Amino acid sequence: MNADRYVRQMTFKEIGIRGQRKLAHASVVIIGVGALGSHAADLAVRAGIGKVRLVDDDVVEIDNLQRQTLFDEEDARLARPKVLAAARRLREVNSGVEIEPVVGRAVPTNILDLIQGANVVLDCTDRFSARYLINDACFKEGIPWVYTGVVASYGMSATLAPGETPCLRCILGDPPEDSSMDTAATAGIIAPAVSVMAALSVAEAMKLIIGTGQRNPGLLYVDVWNNAWERIELPPRRPDCPVCQGKYEFLEK
Ligand SMILES: [Zn+2]
């Protein structure tokens, strides 16, 4: 670990040299490398998290560039797979971090392999079907994960840790239909909302890895256009939640 590189971060007393070493030995999986995922990956790699795995099956397009900060016009012209374009850029940013791009989608048959060994999983997808899959996999493996969703000017965030907090299914019940939800395609999206939510997500990951600080204990709602910051308390774990009873239905689909 190059200590000079992280001197400002280590001077922050909640991290220090010990926290920085923990980051260097940690592994984070980022599922979805669009707007949220590219912001989050940039922050995670600059912070010196030792290993960052990127999972996405999409290619860069010109209308991504307004908010997907790791990509440029050449990536769009060549329709580069997002994880490969991101990995190339991130290796230039920090050659001390192991970047592992996976061109593909997280599905029931691969997700347990994808998250194996991770300290934290960051949900940077835009679909509830993917989030319920991540929830099943992470609760099965005992890995904390950070749920983040952004659309238009607002986002939601929750940090879900097996054995500590309820799971996504305890909170939201059965998944809403993906087609019933607003998306960036239907409601638009602005980059500052993405930046805020990605920053919150990586801060949660750093706190989980280092073990200091106060994590988000609820469901956080932020709207950067209307300047709303609200936190709803998480409900208690649902006694009839299949996931919390060890039934992982989304891993079987
Ligand atoms: Zn549950």
Report domain extents, the chain. Answer: 3-251
Span from the CA of 238 to the centroid of ligand 1 (angstroms): 6
What pLDDT sits at residue 155?
98
**pLDDT under 70: residue ranges of the chain:** none
Residues with beta carbon < 5 A to ion ligand 1? 167, 169-170, 241, 243-244
Cα separation, 160 vs 119, whole angstroms: 13
| C-alpha 54 to ligand 1 mean position (Å) | 26
> What pLDDT is stored for residue 253 in this prediction?
80
The C-alpha atoms of residue 17 and residue 12 are separated, in whole angstroms, by 10
What pLDDT score was predicted for residue 217?
96
Longest dimension (CA), the chain: 51
CA distance 148 to 125: 8
Q: How far is the CA of 143 from the centre of ligand 1 (A)?
A: 14
218 alpha carbon – ligand 1 mean position (Å): 15
Question: Which pLDDT does position 1 carry in this prediction?
Answer: 78
pTM exceeds 0.85 for this model:
yes
How many angstroms separate the CA atoms of 224 and 199, rounded? 13
The first and second tokens of residue 148, run together, are 């983040």
Cα of 244 from ligand 1 centre, angstroms: 4
The residues near 252 (Cβ < 8 Å, ≥ 6 apart) are 108
CATH architecture of 3-251: 3-Layer(aba) Sandwich (3.40)
Q: Could you tell me the two tokens for 38?
A: 């590219």
Say how many Å lie between the CA of residue 114 and the centre of ligand 1. Answer: 21
Cβ(107)–Cβ(114) below 8 Å: no
- Residue 84 token pair: 């490969």
Ligand 1 centroid, distance to 166 Cα (angstroms): 5
